[in-house]
Amino acid sequence: MQYHLNGFKSGSPDISAPSGTPHSDEPPGKVDVLIVGCGPAGLTLAAQLAAFGDISTCIIDQKSGPLQMGQADGIACRSVEMFEAFGFSERVLRESYWVNETTFWKPDADQPAHIARSGRIEDTEEGLSEMPHVILSQARVHDFYLDVMRNGPRRLEPHYDRQFVSLARDDSAEYPLTVTVSHSPDGMPVRTEAIQARYVVGCDGARSGVRRAIGRELVGDAANQAWGVMDVLMETDFPDVRLKSVIHSANEGSVLIIPREGGYLVRLYIELDKLNPDERVSHKNITQDQLIAAAGRIMPPYSLDVKEVVWWSVYEIGQRLCDRFDDAQDGADPRVFIAGDAGHTHSPKAGQGMNVSMGDAFNLGWKLAAVLRGQSAPAILHSYSTERQAIAQELIEFDRAFAKMFSARPQTGDKVGEDTVDPKEFQRYFQKQGRFTAGTSVHYAPSLVVAEGAHQHLAKGFVIGMRFHSAPVIRVADAKPLHLGHTLKADGRWRILAFAGQDGDVSALCDYLGGAGSPITQVTPEGADIDSVIDLRAVFQQGHRTVDVGKLPSLLLPKKGRYGLRDYEKVFSADPRADIFEMRGIDRDQGCLVIVRPDQYVAQVLPLTAHDQITQLFAGVLNPHR
């Protein structure tokens, strides 16, 4: 973390200097971005936009205050990587339950009415991420995002008790969108408010009013299967209660046990009865006692004694998807977007809902910021729906197969058919889909913001279109070991990572990038730090004690801030204990360039000498300022 650049500042470095109009109890009449909904998608987007003092953002929610308990709890490895970019991964890792292993249980061959363990595996494959798969209340994730928002230059806070009513668009206006909101604080008459915005993002869930306002709909089907979910404090003799456990009984259904944070709390996903085609789960009037009893029937020979039910709910499995995540029509640039459950719904057992929703918002946030700050043309916004709708489609297909296998009866002896599943096959499927559930398999197709892979062979482990897979390095100036990916913060900047060849020479590259016609020089506003839009960093194969800081090109030691202080944190060496060149398949002779988007996805891999192609890529996405 870097601070004190423009003078000494006491207090927490996490709190930015105030900028722009401070937060007010009343929503502003005009904003750059209006976010509807304070779920994971809405808060991820708000936290990202809160980093920019020159962007005005308003976020509203129909609830009366922040989430306190319940809802999602599974946090994928990729999401924890993203939390690092926001600065709160350490808080998540300290509080959360780490999912290290998963066990599988099936009917006992000798006593089919009882269950027996059939498998035990590592939950996440070795080397997939430096971050673990963890479990933590969605409410705590919200708390951390709210802190990021409050600490930003705009001191952003949600406006609660506000229900989206309608949306109108007038492209001739400076603020083309007008949203009507109903406000109903406790004990007060309902009144309406109007908020004008340049962009609106609906993060308002499966019943999204924003989605309806732009004429989009969720299309899909239901599996006619009811499930219950409970967070409980319980006494049990089940030996794997502190391990994630997938349990199939012979005739009583299935249970998924998820240990929760704190050492005592446990979440149970409990299979209930099939629903008739015209029946809804709400029609069954299920109680928490019925859920407890259903879980108890699945677990023999083990017993469950529930002492306290913290939260519970029932739901129906269904997979539904929007065909687009924006309002773009007839080639016009989009103004309204949907994210999270507003665009896709599915079952919660694979722990994907919160993670994919946050991924939606992280994809959109930097693009909105780039357009609003004049860095990119509005055409870049089309890539949001293109990229994220395709990922949501993959999620729906995965969830349909996963939910079907989870609800199927285990194959035992004479019980084999279409509605049964081989427990070993289910375990193999779980392992096979590990990268998907970890959030690391997302692969964006070539587009304006993802290049073709002609030079992928130069860095096989940094796959173009996939997230930057971090690895250890040592910072040269102070010999600090760290992960290179942890230097890629959620600050809207592009990164050029130069991996030096065997000779360690990056001077020609730096001469080009520091020249008057280079992308870095062209897109940096007058008076701004040279790394304010594109951030160049270098990694050398030589040991950190061998690299001579005094002989580094000036672009790798840029002068910044009002005093012109040098930034010494741009240069790294491979860590001999875990060599990034070896781990990520980087060509040692030639080296390479890895260009990374502001959301940490690899946009291009190039030779160090491919100056024209660097210029070409950035000319397509960033506007010149000089």
Query: Catalytic residue numbers?
Result: 73, 260, 269, 348
Q: How many CB atoms lie within 10 A of CB 382?
A: 18
Is-contact 208 338, C-beta < 8 A? yes
Q: How many CB atoms lie within 10 A of CB 120?
A: 13
Task: Choose among 539, 553, 549: nearest CA to 509.
Answer: 553
Q: Report how far residue 184's alpha carbon sits from residue 190's, in angstroms, rounded to the nearest whole number.
A: 5
Residue 149 backbone dihedrals phi, psi, to 5 degrees: -65, -45
Rg of the chain on CA atoms, in Å: 26
Residue 3 backbone dihedrals phi, psi, to 5 degrees: -160, 180
Cα separation of the two ends of the chain = 30
Q: Report how far residue 613's alpha carbon sits from residue 458's, in angstroms, rounded to the nearest whole number.
A: 15
Half-sphere exposure of 47 (CA within 13 A, CB side): 28
Task: Choose among 136, 92, 146, 52: nearest CA to 490.
Answer: 52
Task: Choose among 327, 351, 329: nearest CA to 338.
Answer: 327
Question: Where does 203-253 show beta strands of DSSP type E?
Answer: 219-236, 244-248
- Contacts (Cβ under 8 Å, ≥6 apart) of 326: 214, 334, 336, 337, 338, 381, 382, 384, 385
Residues in the chain: 626
Q: For residues 314-331, b (16+ Cβ closer than 10 Å) or e, as one string?
A: bbbbbbbbbebbbbbeee
Q: Report how far residue 241's alpha carbon sits from residue 235's, in angstroms, rounded to the nearest whole number.
A: 10
Tokens of 477: 């100036």
Name the pairing type of β-strands 244-248 and 101-107: parallel
Name the pairing type of β-strands 409-410 and 115-122: unpaired
Task: Choose among 357, 350, 386, 518: nearest CA to 35.
Answer: 357
**Residues facing residue 601 across a β-bridge:** 467
**Residues facing residue 75 across a β-bridge:** 134
3-state secondary structure 528-555: CCCCCCEEEEEEECCCCCCCCHHHCCHH
3-state secondary structure of 376: coil
Is-contact 366 598, C-beta < 8 A? yes
Distances in Å between the Cα of 481 and the Cα atoms of 130, 600, 609 are: 14, 20, 29
**Residues facing residue 107 across a β-bridge:** 115
In the block, residue with structure tokens 């969605």: 138
Q: Report how far residue 494's alpha carbon sits from residue 534's, in angstroms, rounded to the nearest whole number.
A: 5
- Contacts (Cβ under 8 Å, ≥6 apart) of 227: 269, 270, 271, 272, 314, 315, 316, 317, 347, 349
